[in-house]
Amino acid sequence: MPRGSATRNTRRWALVGVVALLLGTGGAAADTVHFKNGDRLTGTFVDAPEGFVAIDVPHVGVVTVPRAEVAGLDGVSAADGPPDAQGADGAPAGHADAKATGPWQARADLGVAVATGNTRAADLNFVAGVERQGTRFDNVLGVAVHKARAQGDGLTSSAGSTTTKDHLDIDYNLRWKYRDTWYAVANFEYFQDPIKDIDQRATTGAGVGHTFWESDRGSLRTDAGISQVFEEIGSPPRAEGDASNGSDNNPALRWGLQFNRWLVAERLELFHTNQLLHILDGEPSSVWDSDTGLRYHLNSRWLAALRVDLQHETAPAAGRRKTDSSYALAVGVKL
């Protein structure tokens, strides 16, 4: 950005801040953005694209600014201290995270999905995510739920029979960033799908990742590591002639990838995440999970999403199909 343009933008944000203060925002709001030139805006943090900070200023509206112009973020009002009060690292004094951690961001989608594979159903698809990014640590939590009365696949039940689809997938990742683009990651996942005879599968592990690029237009990162997988498999057994129903506890190799790209800034977003888990038991098997789609952000609160969820297992339970997929059209909200 040209220097003159940056100066004009900084003056504009400063003017917005002055107007907000004159209109009485004072000590009523909880969140504050501190700019590098000493100015600040007070209001309520809202969801923003990667590389930006967005704050809803009373009587003014949502103001979105590049993170490069921000010195720090905190949860004190303008009356709690001077804007130039800073700690040793340049963040505002009293900041809960000395590395200017951003606010928690949450999103939930609820939609109708058409499923194929082990079930044929039109069911409800609920997907939620909570994320917090900081200079040193990122916290990412995801939850996916599929619940329906589904038609059996005809392999293990009579054609047209009705079963209960009760799919749950919870995953959490903690990323510790160092040396700019590298990070260490610890992860945990809990999965259950009785129709696939997986009463529960808990995976915990650690690894190393690399961020290939991250900007206001999107990001691409990948990580790999080792995991331990605890499974409780129902009946029938995993393979013909295999009497190992019950519990399994095996090491595994894990690889993950996360990608998002703004096709239209702050409006249309392309996203893709996947995980490959290679279980190192007596007969090695692999599990592939992916989530791909588009999100259209109607405004700072509401969005619409079109997604494709895919799960493939190389060694499913006997009589079960290897691949399950669902196609969902959802309406979401950013909290």
How far apart, in Å, are the Cα atoms of 143 and each of 17, 43, 86, 199, 205?
A: 37, 29, 37, 17, 18
Q: What is the mean pLDDT of each run of 10 residues along the chain (335 residues)?
A: 49 49 45 83 85 85 87 56 36 38 80 70 80 87 78 47 69 89 94 85 96 89 95 62 64 96 92 94 86 93 92 85 87 89
pLDDT for 291 equals 93
The helix or strand, by DSSP H or E, that contains position 139, with its residue range, turns out to be strand 137-152
Q: Are 121 and 88 in contact (CB under 8 A)?
A: no
How far apart, in Å, are the Cα atoms of 186 and each of 136, 170, 175?
A: 14, 14, 7
pLDDT for 241 equals 44
- State the maximum Cα–Cα separation within the chain, in Å, rounded to a whole number: 77
pTM, entire model: 0.64
pLDDT for 102 equals 64
pLDDT for 329 equals 92
Question: Could you give the CA distance from residue 188 to residue 64 in angstroms, rounded to a whole number?
Answer: 33
Q: How many CA atoms lie within 13 A of 69 on its CB side?
A: 24
Q: Are 14 and 37 in contact (CB under 8 A)?
A: yes
pLDDT for 185 equals 96
pLDDT for 105 equals 86
